[in-house]
Structure 1
């Protein structure tokens, strides 16, 4: 369940931020901000669903998933295929995120 929440949160955050990018950098209508803000609110709500004892830990672990999802967006939406350095860096980040979220901790 955690992985699905993180993937959904990453897509919502990227889509919301891209709406601002489209408005400010690509010259699209300010109406792009409406779905963008809704998407960012969805992102914030989804992160509250992560089963973690601390918000900061949930957010830190999410960072690795966000990096991987951003590279997927780069490829799927922007048409730029990630190179081996992108993929290697993303793998390291995802490993780090897994350690942060799933490491055994004393109660």
Structure 2
């Protein structure tokens, strides 16, 4: 499925873009971090338009579950903070919900 490739790429772009702003404002990094951050956020928005869905809201809602899981992966890999069992349970619930939204039968 096309969405199974697009959503993880969109999540990487969104998290990277948001982290650039976080680094600038919270970690006292250079404002130069904003340039790649903006490029990432533009890529994120463009990628979501590629999801095959007749409703933008449905595509965005399903993306939410993927974003939550990707955020925990980012936390583990980039921020070196291990997700706890509640993080993992919550992410699994969100991912199941995203799957229902995205792949549920429509009339």
State the TM-score, normalizing by the size of structure 1. Answer: 0.98
Alignment of 1:9-88 (within 5 A): 9-88=10-89
Q: Give how far 1:71 is off.
A: 0.0
Q: CA RMSD in A?
A: 0.4
State the TM-score, normalizing by the size of structure 2. Answer: 0.98
Gaps of 5+ in 1: none
In structure 1, distance between residues paired with 2:4 and 2:80? 25
May I ask how many residue pairs the two structures share in their alignment?
A: 106
In structure 2, distance between residues paired with 1:65 and 1:4? 11
Gaps of 5+ in 2: none
Q: Secondary structure at the match of 1:92?
A: helix
In structure 2, distance between residues paired with 1:5 and 1:43? 9
